[in-house]
Amino acid sequence: MELLPLVFTSGWASGVNAYATVLLLGLLGRYAGIDGIPAALERTDVLVVTGALYALEFVTDKIPYVDSGWDAISTAIRPTVGAILGLLLTGDASSLDQAVAATLGGTTALASHAVKASLRLAVNTSPEPASNIVLSTVEDFSVAGALALAVFQPWTAFGIVAVLLGGGGIIAVALTRRVRRGYRRWRERRREALEHV
């Protein structure tokens, strides 16, 4: 298994859903016999705890505005999990390699978390809840697909995740600007309405 694409992909996946990432990697290592998955992730207690936390996030992530609160709490958790996974995936590598992998995993997780949180804030401004549920479900499947691909086709996963991260960043910036403009217009209309009263 290629280390760089796996660290990059697992970092990205951690930024989207850290608990699903740990759970899926542990299950792949334990039941699919994938070499290179750290034994710590395959432990029963780790699988049970991350499974329970993933179930909680699965529900929370589908509720508008609650998901943004969950994202705020996860700002410290997701990049930390990405860094720890990067460190664990290096195994017995040199200290420098471990530091580079941990930094790459944590930084990628922070970037994908920022994209996810920004997109969710923008989506939460829509009046209907369906878009939030659809986006959350797409994120869940994206994490599962990217991790499976990273295990079997690491460089393909690397390319896809790089495109998702870059494209998501561009979309997040565009949506954030649009939401800010809409909020400014709403504030101006409200101020004008109050002045006429």
Q: One digit per residue, pLDDT tens: the chain, 197 residues?
A: 588 999 999 999 999 999 999 999 999 999 988 888 999 999 999 999 999 999 999 999 888 888 888 999 999 999 999 999 999 999 877 788 889 999 999 999 999 999 998 888 878 777 776 788 888 899 999 999 999 999 989 999 999 999 999 998 898 888 778 777 877 887 888 888 777 76
Domain that residue 42 falls in = 3-196
Q: How many domains does the chain have?
A: 1
DSSP secondary structure string, the chain?
--HHHHHHHHHHHHHHHHHHHHHHHHHHHHHS--TTS-HHHHSHHHHHHHHHHHHHHHHHTTSTTHHHHHHHHHHHHHHHHHHHHHHHHTTT--HHHHHHHHHHHHHHHHHHHHHHHHHHHHHTTSS-SHHHHHHHHHHHHHHHHHHHHHHHSHHHHHHHHHHHHHHHHHHHHHHHHHHHHHHHHHHHHHHHHHHH-
Q: Say what the pLDDT of residue 177 is.
A: 82
